[in-house]
Structure 1
């Protein structure tokens, strides 16, 4: 056997198990997508892996509530220059209240909450009123700067939550699986490696702590083995079911998974597809 043939044979033998595993996860993702009734995008990457697992990674999707991660990041970036921001109290106005606000619906106009409490409500129970109040605090320009600084090329946050007029005017909040997945990857890398990425390492760890308490466990979480930690944010609007998260963020083998959907005829099939994709990716990366 020639040297070149020997090297080629060695590479083939080394690649075979990994290539077979990648082929299997790709096939399982494709089957889950085919059964979903809509358009699906996937981006998954283990920390320090050379390349992600992808399916339609650069297709643009409505964010629904996963864009609340952008608000959270922008808030933590601000806190690095203004540490007292989380203790600031904001008084709620009647015009602040919108639907989809399970936490703040129990308050009356004139009540005041700390920014920290609003941030927890925004993530824990995806409270739309809390999210809108934080958008007003930060401003769309600051959030746009956060998006630009993170190099999210196809992501935008252009409207408040439950703003029907903005939706009718085609001003939508958008992202891609690659953009939102790579954002959480940078948050995990900052936490895990102790380096500044999109925020300081301490901020990254605090954001993960908040995301770990997110209460919607109907998508990625149901595709994972019981007890596996998940720091995630879900999102739902008509025709859309999304989930993006860091699996086992403080463990030895963390990875990020983003699954975005749109054009769903049956919303339950979108959730099922996300669960099946989560199961397939977990088997390949964990």
Structure 2
């Protein structure tokens, strides 16, 4: 099946989601998209550019990877993650906060990284990629949700640009690139893109999820036998979160089946 022929099937699945939907999917220079540059509340997807900025700070000698970051009891926040489950004051190396932020989507780790490197540093990285419709404006869980102007925002196409830079760009060294890809590959929330994929024990996607009431996201990189596919799916103001989850899971399975068949076809050519 040709990649562009997936368009109708994806659009049919999208009809089951009531709300704002945005996606950008790229394979071998071809793209499928819907509202690719519409600003969306990214929830935890914003943690990806934060991770890139943090690794660049280490890479450029701006911060020591082994710097000890202490988290006090009052600095812990709820939501996803594990640090708020730990008793008393805890400490981590700066670099070890990154997998905690990405693989288990820890909100406290995210805020500690933001505090260490600063919001302007993160936005400078985002802007350097040409992602003009994405920005970090606040820490996690740190704003009245009605104050829209203070919300973080990203677009599906900007996220894809970021994923491509992580996977195949030259911004990060090979060491730091592999470190971040490893964090994405070890993602612990696998109830969206990989949900319906049953022929592998682990998620074939290196990915990051994000969600809140009325929003469901999953973005990732799919590498199969040298074939690479990038997918970013975001939804805001959805009436039923489960409908959006099922859409993302259906697209994840469809893309996986396509990429698997395509790689087999190419290897037999």
TM-score by length of 2: 0.89
| Equivalent in 199, 213, 232 of residue 258 of structure 1 | 232
In the TM superposition, residue 225 of structure 1 has moved relative to its aligned partner by 5.0
Query: In the TM superposition, what whole-angstrom CA distance separates every residue of 1:5-45 from its partner, at most 9, and x where no partner exists?
Result: xxxxxxxxxxxx64xx523x111111111001222211112
Where 2:96 maps in the other structure, the secondary structure is helix
- State the distance in 1 between where 2:57 and 2:175 align: 13
| Equivalent in 105, 111, 116 of residue 84 of structure 2 | 105
2:123 match: 144
Alignment length (residue pairs): 257
In the TM superposition, residue 95 of structure 1 has moved relative to its aligned partner by 3.5
Contact 2:22–2:235 (Cα < 8 Å) also in 1? yes
- State the distance in 2 between where 1:62 and 1:161 align: 12
Contact 1:124–1:214 (Cα < 8 Å) also in 2? yes
Contact 2:194–2:253 (Cα < 8 Å) also in 1? no
TM-score by length of 1: 0.84
Structure 2 residues not aligned, in runs of 5+: 261-269
Query: In the TM superposition, what whole-angstrom CA distance separates every residue of 1:225-253 from its partner, at most 9, and x where no partner exists?
Result: 5325221100011210000011127x411
Where 1:235 maps in the other structure, the secondary structure is strand
| Equivalent in 18, 21, 27 of residue 37 of structure 1 | 18
- State the distance in 1 between where 2:204 and 2:53 align: 24
2:267 match: none
Higher helix share: 1
What RMSD, in angstroms, separates the aligned Cα atoms of the two structures? Answer: 1.9
Contact 1:123–1:214 (Cα < 8 Å) also in 2? yes
Contact 2:209–2:218 (Cα < 8 Å) also in 1? yes
- State the distance in 2 between where 1:33 and 1:239 align: 16
| Equivalent in 233, 239, 248 of residue 274 of structure 1 | 248
2:266 match: none
- State the distance in 1 between where 2:32 and 2:259 align: 9
In the TM superposition, residue 199 of structure 1 has moved relative to its aligned partner by 2.1
In the TM superposition, residue 272 of structure 1 has moved relative to its aligned partner by 0.2
